[in-house]
Amino acid sequence: MAPKHHPTPLSGGDRKALAKELGRARAMTKILASQSDDARAKGEALIRQADKLLCESWNEKMWADGGPIDPSPTVDQAVNGGYSWLEIECSRCKTKRDVDLAVLRHPASTAVHDLASRLRCSKCARAGSRPAATLLQLTARARQAAPET
Is the pLDDT score of 40 beyond 70?
yes
Q: Which residue has the higher pLDDT, 65 or 82?
A: 82
Average pLDDT estimate for 19-24: 90
Q: Which amino acid is at 67?
A: G
Give me the pLDDT at residue 50, please.
Answer: 95
Give me the pLDDT at residue 78, please.
Answer: 92
Q: Above pLDDT 90, what percent of the chain? A: 32
From 102, 107, 131, select the one nearest 119 (Cα to Cα): 131
Q: Which amino acid is at 55?
A: C
Q: Are 78 and 84 in contact (CB under 8 A)?
A: yes
Average pLDDT estimate for 62-87: 86
Give me the pLDDT at residue 120, please.
Answer: 80
